[in-house]
Amino acid sequence: MRFGNVGAVPLGCNIHNWMMGYIYVVDTPWFTKTSRDGNAKIKGLNQSAAVVKVWHPRIKGGVIEQPYQAQNSKLKIQLKLKPDLRRPRPATYDSGIYSGT
């Protein structure tokens, strides 16, 4: 599927309405996603100045932007997000056929 607009595309489950996922569409060849430890690396940036954009579904306004100069080999962007307190519902059968006993 091709996405024509840059930005977040929310995905919902048509069976479990509490399940959500996201695709973030970009218009640049330089992008990455963080690893489990929260770090990310982008290789192949040219030597000019750039703007690094960070997206997360719980960032107010959606995107944080920070200038980047190629002379600096590392850029640190630290996010402090409140924990998502919604708990996924356990897998159960809502049809009444499964009694749980």
Does the pTM exceed 0.95? no
**Centroid of chain to Cα 67:** 20
Model confidence pLDDT, tens digit, residues 49-101: 778 888 888 887 778 888 877 665 666 666 666 666 666 665 554 444 443 43
Q: Which of 85, 24, 13, 88 is nearest to 57 (CA)?
A: 24
Calculated CA dihedral for residues 43, 45, 50, 53, nearest 10 degrees: -30
